[in-house]
Amino acid sequence: DQQVKQNSPSLSVQEGRISILNCDYTNSMFDYFLWYKKYPAEGPTFLISISSIKDKNEDGRFTVFLNKSAKHLSLHIVPSQPGDSAVYFCAASNSGYALNFGKGTSLLVTP
């Protein structure tokens, strides 16, 4: 049973605009959330994270928002750049050990 869901398999955005990637989860015990970015033929790389005690975390062009009541988080990329084109995975943890990953959203940023 998928506990972390990314319902949009793909997203296309123009360069310079905002990219918004969404993630929903079902397990209310999750206390930490992460976003990973993955290029083809490479391992995922950590992008940004947020603890459940916060509702926003920002790092440069990347901001993650958490809405615990809706069990929803989103990743905002502003402004989007062609190099941001990749697959983005949302992940959640309730133990500090294993991460539960979503199926990923493929982002394409067009010039």
Partner 1 sequence: DVKVTQSSRYLVKRTGEKVFLECVQDMDHENMFWYRQDPGLGLRLIYFSYDVKMKEKGDIPEGYSVSREKKERFSLILESASTNQTSMYLCASSSIRWQDSYEQYFGPGTRLTVT
Chain residues in the site for partner 1 (CB under 8 A): 6, 9, 32, 34, 36, 41-46, 49, 89, 93, 96-99, 101-104
Min dist CB 101 to partner 1, Å, is 4
Please state, as a whole number, how many other Cβ atoms lie within 10 Å of the Cβ of residue 110.
11
Give the nearer residue to partner 1 in terms of CB position, either 30 or 77: 30
Give the nearer residue to partner 1 in terms of CB position, either 13 or 47: 47
Give the nearer residue to partner 1 in terms of CB position, either 36 or 85: 36
- 31 to 17, 28, 40, 42: CA distances (angstroms): 31, 8, 29, 28
Contacts (Cβ under 8 Å, ≥6 apart) of 81: 15, 61, 109
CB 73 within 8 A of CB 23: yes
Give the nearer residue to partner 1 in terms of CB position, either 74 or 93: 93
Min dist CB 43 to partner 1, Å, is 3
Min dist CB 102 to partner 1, Å, is 6
d(CA 81, CA 24): 25
